[in-house]
Amino acid sequence: MINISNQLNLNRKIFLAIGLWPYQKSKFAQFYSICCFSILATFIIFQLTTFVTSKCTIDLVIQILSPTSAFISTLVVYYSFYNNSETVKYLIEQLQRICDNIKDKNEILIIERYANHAKRYTIMLITVAVYGISCVMGVQLWPTFCDIILSAKVTRPQYWLKMEYFIDEERYFYVSLLHTNVALIIASLTTIGTGALIIVYFQYACAMFQIASYRLEQAIQIYTVQGVILLNEKMIYKKIVCAIDIHRKAMMFTDQIISTFQMLLMILLISTVIVLSLNFYCALKAASLGYIKDFFTPSLIGSACLLFLFLCCFVVQQVTDENEHIFVTAYKIRWYLTSVRIQTLILFLLQRGNKPYGLYIGKLFPISLQFFATISNTSVSYCAVMYSVGW
């Protein structure tokens, strides 16, 4: 028997760390969620308050908005998952109900294989996040390490982001540094946790489509013993119905994921283009001027955003490919050797394959690897335009 809770153990720990686990609804958990949200919100506010104390120029606007836009997107994601916690919980329970009806050993192996794929994606995201956070913290804490351990005087660096706390920066340096790093950790965990859970959903959807193909293949087994002998027609009919049923459940499941987060996806689509364009521009300008210290932050944010976008598009592309594989399987099997009743049933399945299937953002933009290439090219184009006009 498949236990979804055990397979989501790593995802559960990440969600608990940021107060978004839907099964944890105590007063303390709600207070903890408010604290995490407030830290992210105040972190964004203290970046925007730089406009109050500094002269507003195009360079300053781009320099502040390039990281701030990424954190605003994270804040929107946090609120969306908190607000849709019941739907997140329902999707997990729906997966459990589907898995409870799977008894075949080969089908269980298919589920476990895709569950392991989802776990590897999660571990990869955690590894990248730990590496990025370690680099940022290492740069900030290096002067303190040299001063205390090596007894060497090293100039304390400025913040890796432009911030304005309206306090004595020298005296309260470590207080502001703590707030910055905690906000960075929460933002990273929010991105990893929510993204990894969406990947888990789609990996299970891939498993369901794969099971549908497997059931269809098993339904039409041809044994040649001095001629063609078909399996029991009633058993074949039942297996085809089971294949169509789990295919229908998989499509409904994926459509529900997209419909639940439709508004969030539209916002992220716009913000992703903004984040990539601004950060690529800042990194390009810093590299052209030889400002290595200004190159680090935008390149890190831009690379992380690009990696996350590619991973999401790649996983959704897998869902589309697995769905198409069902109809390829239906064409390949020797359905013409079956009875007219079964041929009619398979014909309905083949007709469904004539309609293009995809997961759309706002019913306009199909999520796929081509969509990733389009977003990347659009962001690079905007970056090139900003650089050419001399901003």
**Per-residue pLDDT averaged across 18-26, rounded?**
89
* Residue closest to 204 by CA, chosen among 104, 281, 43, 94: 94
- Note the helical H segments in 333-368: 340-353
Confidence of residue 146 (pLDDT cuts 50, 70, 90): low
pLDDT digits (tens, 9 = 90+) for 229-279: 444 667 777 788 888 889 889 999 999 999 888 888 888 888 999 999 999
| Global pTM value | 0.87
Taking alpha carbons only, the member of 313, 305, 364, 306 closest to residue 202 is 313
Q: pLDDT by residue (tens digit) across 169-196?
A: 677 777 888 888 899 999 999 999 999 9
CA 331/CA 187 separation, integer angstroms: 47
Residues 68-118 pLDDT 10s: 999 999 999 999 999 999 999 999 999 999 988 888 899 999 999 999 999
Fill in the DSSP letter of residue 358.
Answer: -
Distance from C-alpha of 14 to C-alpha of 158, rounded to nearest angstrom = 30
C-beta of residue 58 within 8 angstroms of C-beta of residue 391: yes
Predicted confidence band of residue 160 (pLDDT cuts 50, 70, 90): low
Q: One-letter amino acid identity for 171?
A: R
CA 12 to chain centre: 15
Range from 153-157, 205-209, 222-226, 306-310 carrying the lowest mean pLDDT: 222-226
CB atoms under 10 Å from CB of 193, counted, come to 27
Distance separating alpha carbons of residues 264 and 81, to the nearest angstrom: 9
Environment class of residue 315 by beta-carbon count within 10 Å: exposed (0-12), middle (13-18) or buried (19+)? buried
Give φ, ψ of 127 to 5 degrees. -60, -45
pLDDT digits (tens, 9 = 90+) for 332-390: 777 666 677 777 777 777 776 666 677 888 777 889 899 999 999 999 898 888 888 76
